[in-house]
Amino acid sequence: MVVAVAEESRGAEQARSWIERSGATYWTLIDPEHRVSALYGMVNVPQAVWIDERGCIVRPAETAGSTDHFRRMDRVSKVLPPEDFAARAEARALYLDAVRDWVRTGKHALSPKAVARRQPRITTDIVLALAHFRLGVWLRGQGRDAESDRHFAKASKLHPESWCLWRQAADLEKIGKAVGPEFWERVDALGEKAYYQPPDIPGFRPA
């Protein structure tokens, strides 16, 4: 079964329109404290974790079909070149096919040792970043915006790889910031480094 989790600190009402628009027929949970991403080491969306019928992780957190083709879109019109649009659609289909193959045949499942090697490590800095982030969310709810922003900034400094934390904080700080110039500046600063790291599944390649 598929379970989707919305990492949305503003709660169900904020996520509702996106969920309803998708027409999802699977469970969609709301995670205002970002506990799922903290537990599984997720740093971006969409990411997926594959868990078998025994409750064992067979693929740790990885990019779930998204690609870096979006980096070549026109930043005014938000339109992708046709070849990038097609390549992005192909990657999404490839990932879904891989999930189906796993369900039917067990293909693409990793050994316990491989899972252990790939499982993201939760460091002291990451734990502190999550604490600063949650405190920032609470302070925002109390109307203490300046204090909230300081804790959000500290969270991103401690855990710069987490786009989940930065984008949620940006949304809470200013409407549109998470997809505006500040976002693109951060993406451009990556240089050759991937925003969406391709999953280690045959057929995937860097955008």
Number of C-beta neighbours around residue 179 at 10 A: 13
Q: pLDDT tens-digit profile of 169-192?
A: 999 988 778 889 999 999 999 999
Identify whether the C-beta of residue 6 lies closer than 8 Å to the C-beta of residue 29: yes
Number of C-beta neighbours around residue 77 at 10 A: 7
Q: pLDDT tens-digit profile of 53-101?
A: 999 999 999 999 999 999 999 999 999 999 999 999 999 999 999 999 9
Number of C-beta neighbours around residue 46 at 10 A: 13
Q: What residue ranges do the domains of the chain occupy?
A: 124-188
Closest by Cα among 65, 16, 75, 23 to 44: 65
Question: How many whole angstroms separate alpha carbon 71 and alpha carbon 184?
Answer: 9
Q: What angle do CA 169, 163, 101 make, to 5 degrees?
A: 135
* Verdict on whether the full-model pTM lies above 0.75: yes
Q: pLDDT tens-digit profile of 88-136?
A: 999 999 999 999 999 999 999 999 999 999 999 999 999 999 999 999 9
Cα 190 versus chain centre, distance = 16
Q: For residue 13, what is the enclosing H or E element? A: helix 12-22
Identify whether the C-beta of residue 60 lies closer than 8 Å to the C-beta of residue 76: no
At 158 the pLDDT is 98
Question: How many whole angstroms separate alpha carbon 56 and alpha carbon 59?
Answer: 9
Number of C-beta neighbours around residue 123 at 10 A: 11
Closest by Cα among 141, 155, 176 to 37: 155
The whole-number average pLDDT for the span 12-27 is 89
At 14 the pLDDT is 87
Q: How many residues does the chain have?
A: 207
pLDDT band at 137 (very low <50, low <70, confident <90, very high): very high
Question: How many whole angstroms separate alpha carbon 54 and alpha carbon 65?
Answer: 25
Question: How many whole angstroms separate alpha carbon 62 and alpha carbon 51?
Answer: 13
Greatest CA separation found in the chain? 53
pLDDT band at 18 (very low <50, low <70, confident <90, very high): confident
At 69 the pLDDT is 97
